Amino acid sequence: MLIAAPALLRDGKVTGPGVVEISDGVITALHERAPADHPVITLDRGILAPGLIDLHLNGAFGVDCACATQADMAHLSRALAARGVTSFLATIITAPIPDLLASSARLAAMTPVADGADLLGLHWEGPFIAPSRRGAHRLENLAIPDSAMIDHLLHDPALRRVLRLVTLAPELPGGLAAIARLTEAGCTVALGHSDADAAMSLRAIDAGASLVTHVFNAMRGLHHRDPGLIGVALSDSRLWPCFIADLVHVDPIALRIGVAAAGSRAIAVTDSISLAGLPEGSTQLFGGAPAWVRDGAARRDDGALCGAIITLDQAVRRLIAQGIAPAAALAAASETPAAALGLSDRGRIAPGLRADLVWLDDDFSLCETWIKGQPVLGRAPQPATPRQNRTPTEQIHAHAAALDALPSDQIIALLLNQEQRSVHALSTSIADLAMLADRMATTIAAGHRVITLGAGTSGRLAVLDAVECGPTFSLPDDVLVPILAGGPGAVTGAVEGAEDDSAAALAALHTHHVTADDLVLGIAASGNTEFVRAGLAGARALGCITAAISNNPDGKILAVADIAVILHSGAEILAGSTRLSAGTAQKIALNALSTTAMIRLGKVYGPYMVDMRPTNAKLHARACAIVAALADCSMDQAQAALAASGDRIKIAVIMQRLGLTAAAAQARLETAGGNLRTVIGAVIIQPRSVSSSIA
């Protein structure tokens, strides 16, 4: 099975596009493009990430892990998978030791749920916690982790099989020795529910502790002369700090500070209890006392917090909503918990690992979950071979099935939402666009041309961009040369068959005297327009550097391009109507390319177009405002300098700023290769509106 995605989370970064190959539940290979003649599940938007892993889950959807039956756990596992969670630690809080051992034995005997989230094992959050920091835990059930107690636990075979994580307060009698013994036995230890100071926290790390349970909650506060466990958790690279990301247990500001300080060590957890997923006002027993869904969390009768009511996919969205980078938020819920718990078989998109994956939409809502390569929700597209696959712009948009039955405001909202997605998708093409912009600037600086080849909407957009660059940057008409299939008449009307005319493309290259020194750029939404493909192939035969912009990663024009730019704009609201999202993405890409190239050529100073031609009253007023801003002079002085310079903004600025004649200013600018910044240096630009004197 192959899954093609426009973006993937890999090693803490969003990369892509890419294709994940899966066999027998395992990722076997990663590809830039899908191998030929293999069925491909093509995701037209969003991001493919590793399945989410929750290390702190007391329960959800009415199920309490402490007393769950096999049927309860199957329900919980399937419900979690439907929220993108593919692995979790069942967490049980403080209870009498016999009850904890009974819960552990019950969980150890459970049969795995093939179509649900994988139960990794057990997290004991207690009973070895500080009485003063016990939170919702019952005081009478707390215990001391002395040698006899640890002996008793480690000799329980069921517990040894299932226990993966223990939260422990290291300052308790026997705490440091217990950490050492537990870690030696293969159990990970987290510091939490603790009043430990920094010195004790550091000793606990030396003893083997490696995680911190819900940083900020149930521990002494952070003080600049007493940093405590919080300070150590945020600063010591040996610890993996976990944060409850419901925005209730931790204030959003504190959460942002904590995640920023922890960096790539930060882990997002839910600490959810059985009330998660249940409506406001629901109640259940938790830890031996009633708990209620109230004001966004689980609370006791007196309003005290006793757990969260979110799932991990919600935690990711809440982190992102607080300004945390999507890659960081997703890694904190997938890659990082896997690394912290030593899960070498999952948690990353890499060959040899379990194919536990989630597909998130552009707004990070869940589209699909795969557990060992098997879909959970059935929302992903059906596999299709390249022969069956339509190009992305020809595919049916997921939200357009009843488009004609929608009211106008919903149609417009749908169109605008898709436009936003197409713009967002451009971020994956930044590196290729930058490479092409630099090549354009180098070509123009050497006195050569950039030729664009296009048809239909794509070609007209290239014509528009080239025409606008003339007055905007004083660019001669023969520097950016657009060649449109069907000729000039195709700008305002359709020319039937023009886009399929390969001979016309070759003839146009000849007519425009294209040489090996020119850069030839082809643009086509489908990537398969024959006029563009043939033109690029002909240009390459002449020795030209060629580039291609396609909204289809399998477009034929990419094969004849030295620089390939893929715009992952996805399916159109109107299937095949590339004047919509594909056109928007292309226009932005063309604008970004030409503008960046002009900036590299010195035609811009700061935010100002200093090579603009003031060919009408509006542009003349704008030119005066630019001179006044850069020369720090009055509008009257700027107007006089412009007149003396022959309406050349750069010359006028140099004249006014350095007190030179027009001829002397021209000589100084030529010596600097036309770069205004080289002549006048850095100028403090005061905020002002260039248009203030235009209106």
Positions marked catalytic: 468, 499
Structure-token pair, residue 687: 């905020």
Structure-token pair, residue 368: 């699909």
Q: Are 663 and 649 in contact (CB under 8 A)?
A: no
Structure-token pair, residue 254: 């504190």
**170: which residues sit within 8 A by CB, 6+ positions away?**
176, 179, 191, 194, 196, 200, 201, 203, 204, 207, 209
Question: Where do we find the tokens 């159990």?
Answer: 187
Structure-token pair, residue 440: 């354009």
Whole-number Å distance between alpha carbons of 4 and 16: 10
Per the DSSP assignment, residues forming a β-bridge with 284 are: 291
- At what angle are helices 635-645 and 662-671 packed, to 10 degrees? 80
Residue length of the chain: 695
Whole-number Å distance between alpha carbons of 406 and 68: 45
Q: Are 40 and 19 in contact (CB under 8 A)?
A: yes
CB count within 10 Å of CB 24 equals: 9
Question: Where do we find the tokens 């191998």?
Answer: 35
Which parts of 18-171 are beta strand (E)?
18-23, 26-31, 40-42, 47-50, 52-57, 59-60, 63-64, 85-93, 118-125, 163-168
Of 361, 371, 429, which is closest to residue 397 (Cα–Cα)? 361
**Is the four-CA dihedral 501, 506, 512, 517 of positive or negative sign?**
positive
181 vs 77, 184, 189, 508, 564, CA distance in Å? 31, 5, 10, 79, 57
Whole-number Å distance between alpha carbons of 283 and 274: 9
Whole-number Å distance between alpha carbons of 99 and 283: 22
The helix (run of H) or strand (run of E) holding residue 638 is helix 635-645
Of 7, 40, 3, 8, which is closest to residue 425 (Cα–Cα)? 7
Residue 127, preceding peptide bond in cis (omega within 30° of 0): yes
